[in-house]
Amino acid sequence: MSAPWTRPVLARQLQDLGLARGDAVLVHAGLRQIGPILGGPDTLIDAFTDVLGPEGTLLGYCDWQAEEDAVADAALRPHIPPFDPERSRSIRDHGAFPELLRTTPGARRSGNPGASCAALGGRADWFTADHALDYGYGPQSPLGKLVEADGKTLMLGAPPDTMTLLHHAEHLARFPNKVVKRFEVPLLVGGATHWRWCEEFDTSDAPPGLPEDYFATVVRDYLATGAGQTGRVGNADCVLVAAPEIVAFAAHWLEQHYHRAGN
């Protein structure tokens, strides 16, 4: 077994990749890909804060472990726990990192259940405040604010088709017949459960004519232009991109390829 990765080494690798003091970065992390870390995954968060400094902000995409199948069951509906940004767990589909970040002392979490993000650092309150309950991947979201703040997104041992920031590009892209879904969510309001109807562009399926993993193609095409940085943190292959640039690229890519598909 190789020696575990240490906080200073991880911090240096993050700097070599292109992160700097004051940056805001949305991270998707495959912790197992990094290899053993001295002190466990909390050390990785410490390494990020060393690099970003007190004015920088570390973000993670939480989503929510919702009980969607139970909403329509009249017997179960009264017992569904409401979404509480302070207590509701992150969805397990995105690995352990978002929940690890959410539960780190000082972290904040935004208030849109399905699109919720956690943030730690100098602008955590700003990133997580006033997250729209309708169209939660749009401009009034942590993703929209990441673009506004000239932030970055890092795929740290995570596959490129899981780059959540590209849902913001889907929201912005101009093409016809976007699928809109309406759904009810239970929210904790004033200590009681309040059911609210929400509306969102449906991001669960790719637009017609595109494969389900088309995010990976977008990322590869973006990197092929010479933009972004690649490297390693621990044993994990990484991709670091600028949020405004890849969102603009992805929105244009989506508009072109949607129309090429004959729509």
d(CA 63, CA 193): 19
Residue 259: how many CB atoms within 10 A of its CB?
12
pLDDT tens-digit series, residues 152-174: 999 999 999 999 999 999 999 99
Spatial distance between the Cα atoms of 109 and 127, rounded to a whole number of angstroms: 9
Task: Flag whether the pTM goes above 0.85.
Answer: yes
- Comparing C-alpha atoms, which of 193, 72, 186, 190 is closest to residue 133? 186
Q: Sign of dihedral through CA atoms 98, 158, 29, 152?
A: negative
Contact 154, 243 (CB under 8 A): no
Question: In degrees rounded to 5, what are phi and psi of residue 236?
Answer: -90, 135
Give per-residue pLDDT as tens, 46-105.
999 999 999 999 999 999 977 777 787 889 989 999 999 999 999 988 889 999 999 999
Q: List, for residues 10-60, the tens digit of each pLDDT value.
A: 999 999 999 999 999 999 999 999 999 999 999 999 999 999 999 999 999
